[in-house]
Structure formats: structure tokens, C-alpha cells
Chains A and B, each alone.
Chain A
Amino acid sequence: MKKILLFMTLALWPACESAAYAALRVDIYGPGQNIVNLALATPIKGPQAEASGMGQTLQHLVEQNLNILPFMRLTSPNAVLGGTLMAGYEPPNFDFKRFQLAGSDIVVTTFWPGGDSGTKAVQMRVFETNTGGRLFGKEYPNVTTRDLPEVADRFCADLLEALTGNGAFFRSTIAFVKKTGTMSANVWLIKPMGRDLRQITNMPGEALSPAWSPDGRFVVFSHIDQKSHALGVWDHSNNKVQRIRFPGNVVIGPAFMPDNKVAVALSNGKYPVIFLLNHVFQKERVLEQSEAINVSPTFDRTGTKMAFTSSRMGGPQIFLKDLNNGSVTRVSRNGAYNSEANLSHDGTLVVYSRMTDFGHRIFVQDMVTGMERQISFGPGSDEQPSFCADSYFIAFASSRGGGRGIYLTTRHGGDAKQIPTGGGPASFPRWNTPAAQK
């Protein structure tokens, strides 16, 4: 209840803040991704009065969050002549010049009007340093120490949205699988920054391939025990898990369509076939079949494009089906073994893994130009890539650190950062669609 109140109230705070939104934009999707230099002013609770309790913790969390963004460079406080402790948190009591001279494009101010211990409100504002214009501001009322990670995530999501048009990353939750032994694995949830880790299934046998429903209510997954395959369904509304069996021998790689229906590969005679299930998880119709293996469906946000893995040309390759007209086109054209496709929500990119002599590597293909680009280079094996709803960040499983773990990169590649998942081999990262959580 407190959480609801917290975020309901912040939504009421100056509506005019959004007026300046379009002032500074960062294109993270184009080929020439630009860098934003951002400075954090020292959090204050009054003129020149540093907020050193919750203020400092929140500052640290925001810093951690922003450091994960490849297009963001944080200005060192030492580079700011005269320091980052200011008389105020907005003009005219704020000196933008010193931040501008330190090379910062934008500066964040944090003000704790009632102090920063106990349960207090905090105001955060973002300004352009060259004009002093405000990009946006938010107030988070009734904040306690426990709320600070969530406040940091909410603020960073809003900042990301103001700069790039999409703040999904910091609002997301990733479902993944953690293995505890041979044929023993369960489904867990975690925030991309490694917070709020929790286990949602506890079943004997092995869970694989979790996938979120668009409304965030369900996580479905394949479940294998000693006797059978089944579709596992975790219901967020009651925290219960059901195991649904189907005629035949396999239940592989379920994925939700935008209308909350599940597509999954099931046995139908000789080869696995991609079926659409209805809202109560019963077979509705065939989405794709051929005299070959067809598995691992993935959809764009309109549900009109489906990428999948098929062995119709020998080894596994990625194909795209237009669900409006039924046409199927081959996507992956290089390499003998491409699988685990994941379509970006905007449908413009498909990411997949390719077997190479050195393990699997992740590739992204632009669906408009047909250009393919390698975005992971090991060591170890990089597999199971999954797009965030922003179509920018990509999570994948990798054995580069010895054991298997979950890593983050972007559609452009670059240094991958590991998400701490609390020990044990972790794999199959799958993002939710965070609009459902708002």
C-alpha cells in the first residue's frame, strides 16, 4: 500500500516538468551512438548542507545504475572545480558553469527537503548544463532506507526515458533458470541490476526456457522430469505453479504472443511442431510445421512476425514467418548451426546464437538491411540471447566466467556485464514487458 502511495504521489508532482523533455535526446539505436556526460551534484538537505544518510546511499545506487549504461559517462566529482556541493538544487542557486567546464552535458540534483533520515521525501531534478534548462524532475515521498533501490530504479528509468524515449531497462524483471544438479533446475526472478532475487518454482526435475506473459501475470516454462515433458505455468497472482502435460513427448521453448496466448513446440507425429495454445493452455492451432524440427518461437510486439529455429535445410537455422500471409523466409545465412532466436519488440532485429569452433557466439541481424553483426566474442560459450523491451539491451547466458552466468550487453555489442545471480549456474534469461508492471 505504501509503495502504491509513494508512486501515485510522485505522478502528481509538477506536471509541467515534462514540457522540457525533448530538449536533449540520445539516439541509442543508430549506428553512431553518442555519449552523454552526466554529473551528480552532492545530495543536499538545505543550502550547502550535504545529505549524508539516505542521501548518500541513494546517490551511490543511482551511480551504480547509470554506470551500466554504455552511452553514459559519469563526471568524476574531482573534475568539477569548486566541488559538487551547491547552495541549492535549481537556478538561481545552482552554478551550472562549473559542471559545464568539467565537460558534463547534464547534471542531476537531489534535494531532501525534510532531511534524509527516517521516512522522508526526496526531489530529483535533471538539468542541461549549457542552458540550465530542466529536462525533468520527480518527487518521491515517504522514502525509507528500504525504498532506496526502487527509487533509484524509478529515477533512472525516467531519466533513460527522457533521454532515449524508452526506460524499460530499469523497470524490467528477468526470469531465468538456476541449476542445482543434473536434471534439477528451477525458475528465479531478478532485476537487471542484480536486485530482488527470488525463486518462483521449487519442483523436482528441470525447468528450462522461461517466458513472461505480456501482462506480467504468468511465467511459462518447459519442465522435464524422469517421466515426461510438461508446460510449467507460474501464476504471479497466487504464486502457484501448475504442470500441464500434452499428448506426445516434447514441450519445448514456450513463448507468449501479445494477446497472452502461448506458442510452444509439441510432438505431432514425427517432428516437433509449433502450436498456438488458447488462454487455458490447450492446443488451438498449428503455427508452423514441416518435415523437420521446428522449435523456439519468438514474436515481435505486434504478434505478426514469428522467428523460430528449423532444421528444414539440414542443420538448425533461423527463419521468420509472417503470420499475416504465412510466408517463411530464412534469416541466418552464415554458419551451419544457428538457433535460439529472439526478436526485438520493435521487430527490426533478431538476435541468435551460432555454434563456432570456439563455442557459441551471439549475432544480431537487422531485418531491414539483412546485415548481420557479431556482438559477443566469448571466451566460453555465449547462448540464449534475449531482448529487453527497449529493443536495446540484450541479456544472454555465458560460461566465460567458468560457471554459467547471466550477462548484459546491447544491440551494438561492447563489454558485457554480469548480473550477480547468487551462486549456481544461471541460464535462460527472459525479460518481462515492464509496461505491465507500471
Chain B
Amino acid sequence: MKRIALILSLMMALAASFGCAKKTGAGYDDGLTPEMRAAIEQITDARVYFAFNKFDIKPEYKDLLKNKAELIKKYNSIRVGIEGNCDERGTQEYNLALGERRARAAYEYLVTLGVSPGQLEMISYGKENPVAQGSGESVWSKNRRDDFRVVAH
């Protein structure tokens, strides 16, 4: 019985370690080439920000998305999760819908630029996952955003 428990816990630890390496990309000994790691960083580092209650991509973020599109196309083993977020002012249910529209706006732009839909996924966190705490436009503007996360490579 003890042996089975030991084997099971070892298997779980092994599975967990594989999962971490796959999800987080840079920073782990995960077999990535330096070029690919740099590409993942570029894809995930820069965010797209939105105006209040809007989900259209502002012109200043189009080049940034073009750059992401090129990298995602180049590394076609990569899968990118686009996470739509809102500031604290709207209500939770409506913000979940608005966050989805924001994620979808980036998704559609990337697909227009030739990225395979199979390399993209979306989720909305509404206002549940802020990066900046507090109130005021300087905080709110940071939270009205799309985050990009490499979920598989």
C-alpha cells in the first residue's frame, strides 16, 4: 500500500513538473531555443489596452499585434491564450461579455493577419483579474487590457 502511494505521488510530481515547464515558457529548463524563448517573451510581454466600455483595437496597437502575428506564424507549435480584462467600474456580468469582446477583437485581428485560429484561444476574466489595484483613470487604464499567454509550445 505504501509503495503504491509512493509511486502515485512520484508520478504526480513528475506530471506537475512537466506541466510547469510547458505552461510558463521562459525561465525553465524546457528545451526551448533562445530564439523561441525570446519570441515567447515578445508575444506575452506587450499588452493591448482599450478605452472605457470599448473593444476596438486602437491604431497604436496594430503594429504590436502584427509583430505578435509574425512570431506566432513562425513558431507554429505555439498556442496563445488571449485574456480579455476590464476595469473595476462596470458590473461583473457585463464586463465578462466586454472582456470576451476585447479578447475576440485581438483574436480576429491576428487571424486577419494570417494566424491559424487553431493556434489561438480566448478567455474573459471581466474585472476579476486586475493587474493594478485602486481607483482613478491611471489604474483603470492599466486594467482595460488584453493579456497574451503562451499556453502550449
Spell out A's residues near B (CB within 8 Å). Answer: 182-183, 206, 208-209, 222, 224, 227-229, 249-250, 252-253, 265, 267, 270-272, 293, 295-296, 309, 311, 315-316, 337, 339-340, 353, 355, 360, 383-384, 427-428
Smallest beta-carbon distance A342→chain B, Å: 12
Near A by CB (< 8 A), chain B positions 3-40 give none
Segment of B43-51, B84-92, B110-118 in the binding face: B84-92
Q: Pick 24 A–B contacts, CB within 8 A, sort by A.
A: A182-B128, A183-B125, A183-B129, A208-B92, A208-B93, A222-B93, A227-B123, A228-B123, A229-B123, A249-B100, A249-B123, A249-B124, A267-B100, A271-B101, A272-B100, A295-B94, A309-B94, A311-B94, A315-B53, A337-B53, A339-B90, A383-B92, A427-B92, A428-B92
Residues of B within 8 A of A293 (CB): 94, 97-98, 101
Near A by CB (< 8 A), chain B positions 56-100 give 89-94, 96-98, 100
Residues of A within 8 A of B89 (CB): 355
Instruction: Give the residue of A182, A227, A229, A360 whose beta carbon is less than 8 angstroms from that of B91.
Output: A360
Spell out B's residues near A (CB within 8 Å). Answer: 53, 89-94, 96-98, 100-101, 103-104, 122-125, 128-130
Say yes or no: A209-B91 contact (C-beta < 8 A), given A270-B104, A293-B98: no
16 new A-B contacts at CB < 8 Å, known A253-B93, A315-B53, A339-B93: A182-B128, A206-B128, A249-B100, A249-B122, A249-B124, A265-B93, A265-B97, A271-B97, A295-B94, A295-B97, A296-B94, A309-B93, A309-B94, A337-B90, A340-B91, A384-B91
A84 to B93 alpha-carbon distance, docked (Å): 52
A384 to B123 alpha-carbon distance, docked (Å): 23
Q: Are B100 and A224 in contact (CB under 8 A)?
A: no
Residues of A within 8 A of B101 (CB): 271, 293
A234 to B94 alpha-carbon distance, docked (Å): 23
List of 3 A-B pairs having minimum Cβ-Cβ separation, nearest first? A293-B97, A253-B93, A339-B91
Q: Are B125 and A316 in contact (CB under 8 A)?
A: no
Q: Are A250 and B53 in contact (CB under 8 A)?
A: no
Smallest beta-carbon distance A254→chain B, Å: 10
Smallest beta-carbon distance B92→chain A, Å: 6
A224 to B92 alpha-carbon distance, docked (Å): 12
With most chain A CB atoms within 10 A of its CB, the pick from B93, B100, B104 is: B93
Q: Are B91 and A252 in contact (CB under 8 A)?
A: no
| A contacts with B: majority SS | strand
A227 to B149 alpha-carbon distance, docked (Å): 11
A293 to B101 alpha-carbon distance, docked (Å): 9
A340 to B130 alpha-carbon distance, docked (Å): 21
Instruction: Give the residue of B90, B92, B96 whose beta carbon is less than 8 angstroms from that of A250.
Output: B96
Instruction: Give the residue of B96, B125, B128, B129 whose beta carbon is less than 8 angstroms from that of A252.
Output: B96
Q: Are B129 and A182 in contact (CB under 8 A)?
A: yes
Residues of A within 8 A of B92 (CB): 208-209, 383-384, 427-428
Q: Are B124 and A250 in contact (CB under 8 A)?
A: yes
Residues of B within 8 A of A383 (CB): 91-92
Q: Which residue of A lies closest to B101 (CB)?
A: A293
A437 to B92 alpha-carbon distance, docked (Å): 30
Q: Which residue of B lies closest to A360 (CB)?
A: B91
A242 to B82 alpha-carbon distance, docked (Å): 26
Q: Which residue of B lies closest to A359 (CB)?
A: B89
Residues of B within 8 A of A337 (CB): 53, 90
A339 to B90 alpha-carbon distance, docked (Å): 9
Smallest beta-carbon distance B66→chain A, Å: 22
Residues of A within 8 A of B96 (CB): 208, 222, 224, 229, 250, 252, 295
Residues of B within 8 A of A428 (CB): 92
A206 to B125 alpha-carbon distance, docked (Å): 10
Residues of B within 8 A of A339 (CB): 90-91, 93-94
A183 to B85 alpha-carbon distance, docked (Å): 13
Residues of B within 8 A of A249 (CB): 100, 103-104, 122-124
Smallest beta-carbon distance A313→chain B, Å: 12
With most chain B CB atoms within 10 A of its CB, the pick from A272, A340, A428 is: A272
With most chain A CB atoms within 10 A of its CB, the pick from B94, B100, B103, B124 is: B94
Residues of B within 8 A of A208 (CB): 92-93, 96, 128
